[in-house]
A = this chain, B = another copy of it.
Amino acid sequence: MSIPVPRNGIASQRIADNLRDAILRGEYSPGTRLRQEDIAEQFGASRLPVREALRILEADGLVTLVANTGAWISRLSLAECEEMYQIRERIEPLLLRYSMPQLTEDTIGRLHELRREMQAATDVEDFMRLDREFHLLSYTGATTALLGDSVLRLWNTTQHYRRAYTRLFRSEGDVAVHLEHHLLVHAIERADADDADRVLFGHIRRTRLELARHPELFE
């Protein structure tokens, strides 16, 4: 708008961060076109930093750019989403192995708390936020920056479809999720890496298989 937006920090980074949050909150759905000029006006900047911001988001896998044509919110096919989940199945247990030895009792207590809050959550957005915090918190012990980034990227690119899945299953009364979370925290508490690995793998795999049963989420 024309309100003088505070110009703190690098404009391109600021625009990218704001757009990323908006996309993850679900304010844009996959396939939505992003026009440079609109975004520029929205943030009170020129199109130049917007172009860099779109590049940043493309790197995150959230936006798809086509030369001389434009930018769209990335859309996954069911097959692509299954790929993402299969990668998650294989590398998130690895990340958890790095993280587990460094987790404090406080953190594990917080995991239990998040788990309980999730069971009580009625709103889809609340559940999404708690679920994300739960899993990412379980990874905070790891100092493996690159692996952590890879996992975060996978979470972000599949966020929209996870939301659709959640909407579907919370209405059906999905209990498996909570049981798996419970088992996961217990395995972490016992410092049983092999069991945690197995539970987490199964947790992601089951979600993938459930998603595959609902191709209509991908049109």
Contacts and interface: CB of A to CB of B under 8 A. Distances in A.
6 contacts: A52-B52, A55-B55, A55-B56, A79-B144, A87-B94, A90-B90
Interface string A67-96: 110000000000110011011001100100
A189 interface: no
Interface string A92-108: 00100000000000000
B68 A10 contact: yes
Interface string A140-158: 0000111100100000000
Q: How large is the interface on A (under 10, 10 to 19, 20 to 34, 35 or more residues)?
A: 20 to 34
A59 interface: yes
How many copies the complex holds: the figure is 2
A59 B147 CA distance: 15
Interface of A: 9-10, 13, 48, 51-52, 55-56, 58-59, 67-68, 79-80, 83-84, 86-87, 90-91, 94, 144-147, 150
Contact of A91 (B10, B58, B79, B87): B87
Contact of A144 (B13, B51, B83): B83
A67 B13 contact: yes
Nearest to A59: B59
Given A55-B59, A80-B144, 19 more contacts: A10-B67, A10-B68, A48-B48, A52-B55, A55-B55, A55-B56, A59-B59, A79-B144, A80-B145, A80-B146, A83-B144, A83-B147, A84-B146, A86-B147, A87-B91, A87-B147, A90-B90, A91-B91, A150-B150
Contact of A146 (B9, B59, B83, B144): B83
A146 B158 CA distance: 12
A84 B150 CA distance: 10
Nearest to A98: B83
Nearest to A90: B90
Contacts of A52: 51-52, 55
A90 B79 CA distance: 19
Contacts of A51: 52
A31 to B, nearest CB: 17
A105 to B, nearest CB: 26
